[in-house]
Amino acid sequence: MAEVLVYVDHVDGAVRKPTLELLTLARRIGEPVAVALGSGAAATAATLAEHGAVKVLTHEAAEYADYLVVPKVDALQAAHAAVSPAAVLVSSSTEGKEIAARLALRLGSGIITDAVDLEAGDEGPVATQSVFAAAYTTKSRVSKGTPVITVKPNSAAVEPAAAAGTVEELSVSFSAQATGTKVTGRTPRESTGRPELTEAAIVVSGGRGVNGAENFAVIEALADQLGAAVGASRAAVDAGWYPHTSQVGQTGKSVSPQLYIASGISGAIQHRAGMQTSKTIVAVNKDAEAPIFDLVDYGVVGDLFDVVPQLTEEIKTRKG
Ligand SMILES: Cc1cc2nc3c(=O)[nH]c(=O)nc-3n(C[C@H](O)[C@H](O)[C@H](O)COP(=O)(O)OP(=O)(O)OC[C@H]3O[C@@H](n4cnc5c(N)ncnc54)[C@H](O)[C@@H]3O)c2cc1C
């Protein structure tokens, strides 16, 4: 069976959930071979093996942390040369997409970004994308070179599937460009204790209807009961009520959680572009004619300051 390279996103050996989702998809099209780089790479092997990696190629070097993406592209190219895979899968983070694009260019391959599903096809893997502000769903496959495909977080379930996970040291020689852009400083973001917006299984968002920065506490309280990330519409962000990094939409982040709860958000096309592929959508809006109600699975017409705290309380009660 053909091998499929999966680029591993990890923090000091702790594998991030989108990589485990990639392993689920990789198994549909071949045998997953994981590529883990940098500090803690070898420590990823057990988790990757539990989720179907037949092989784990590792390489630890300071360059991966000290320089921007090129060393990682060099390593992935070396893995590609060693394995001749049927496809290369990378998670659709900002960094993941840059790595994937550079790799595809080097390989002379076609690339598909932001896939939301992946299946085996007679002439190579077929990727599903949600395009034009999610107005269309397309299926496509790469027709030149090794398909390089980036997949949005939450596009597949994490499914344990024990495999050998044989660890092999990858031989990498860095290119002249690898050390071209050095990381000169790092400031950790203040942690909210909530999951990362683009990876969260549940997102609770607030819009102009929240009517003030201090009122976002209502949204945060619901998010915390659900273990969710907090998102915001551009109107709320532009008003300075919530950080820009939390903006969902065409010019913000694109999310695809299992559950998206929008409160005080009208559902403008630019907002929908960033959340329409969510599995279940719930909206709370006091205007029954708000366009958000056209795409919801469950809608509540009401004042969010009445509805959301009740919902939060009910969840708290049921959790006991
Ligand atoms: C090029 C471009 C890019 C853009 N990119 C983005 C983007 O990435 N993300 C994004 O979100 N927008 C984006 N926008 C802006 C977008 O067009 C909308 O203006 C924005 O999404 C509106 O935000 P909103 O729904 O919070 O506000 P509004 O459209 O003003 O809607 C507020 C809603 O809250 C409801 N409401 C008010 N009070 C309450 C209450 N107490 N309880 C319940 N409901 C209440 C109202 O009925 C209304 O439906 C972009 C626009 C452009 C032109």
Least reliable range by pLDDT among 6-15, 131-140, 194-203: 131-140
* Residues 284/263, Cβ–Cβ less than 8 Å: yes
Q: How confident is the model at residue 125 (pLDDT cuts 50, 70, 90)?
A: very high
Model's pTM, two decimal places? 0.83
Average pLDDT over residues 208-233: 98
Q: Which of 134, 240, 284, 289 is nearest to 232 (CA)?
A: 240
Q: Characterize the bridge pairing of strands 10-11 and 14-15.
A: antiparallel
pLDDT in tens, 147-191: 999 999 888 999 999 999 999 999 999 999 999 999 999 998 788
- Best substitution site from 285, 305, 310 to test ligand 1's pocket, by max atoms within 8 Å of Cβ? 285
Whether 283 and 207 have beta carbons less than 8 Å apart is answered as no
* Mean of pLDDT over the chain: 96
pLDDT digits (tens, 9 = 90+) for 272-289: 999 998 999 999 999 999
Give the closest residue to 207 by CA, choosing from 267, 282, 277.
267
Check residue 63 and give its pLDDT.
98
pLDDT at res. 190: 80
Query: Which residue's CA lies nearest to atom 37 of ligand 1?
Result: 209
Our CA dihedral for 12, 13, 17, 19, rounded to 10 degrees, sits at: 110
Q: Which pLDDT score is estimated for 295?
A: 92
CA–CA gap between residue 155 and residue 142 (Å, rounded): 19
Q: In the prediction, which pLDDT does 192 show?
A: 86
- Higher-pLDDT residue of 153 and 35 is 35
- Domains in the chain, ordered, with CATH? 3-169 (3.40.50.620), 202-319 (3.40.50.1220)
Task: Give the sheet arrangement for strand 166-169, strand by strand.
Answer: 136-140, 126-131, 111-119, 148-151, 87-91, 3-7, 31-37, 55-59, 166-169
Burial 260-290 (b: 16+ CB within 10 A, else e): bbbbbbbbbeebbbbbbbbeebbbbbeeeeb
Q: How far apart are CA 120 and CA 168, in angstroms?
A: 27
Cα 267 to middle of ligand 1, angstroms: 6
Does position 55 have pLDDT exceeding 80, yes or no?
yes
pLDDT band (50, 70, 90) for residue 257: very high
152 CA to centre of ligand 1 in angstroms: 24
Position 199 pLDDT exceeds 90 = no
CB-hemisphere CA count at 13 Å for 203? 32
Average pLDDT (33-38) is 98
Residue-wise pLDDT for 160-171, tens only, equals 999 999 999 999
143 pLDDT more than 80:
yes
Instruction: List Cβ neighbours of 313 (8 Å cut-off, separation of 6 or more).
Output: none
Residues 6+ apart with CB under 8 A from 20: 47, 51, 158
Q: Atom 39 (ligand 1): residue with closest C-alpha?
A: 209
Atom number, ligand 1, closest to the C-alpha of residue 269:
17
* Nearest protein CA to atom 35 of ligand 1, as residue: 264
10 belongs to an annotated ligand binding site = no
Per-residue model confidence as pLDDT tens digits over 78-110: 999 999 999 999 999 999 999 999 999 999 999
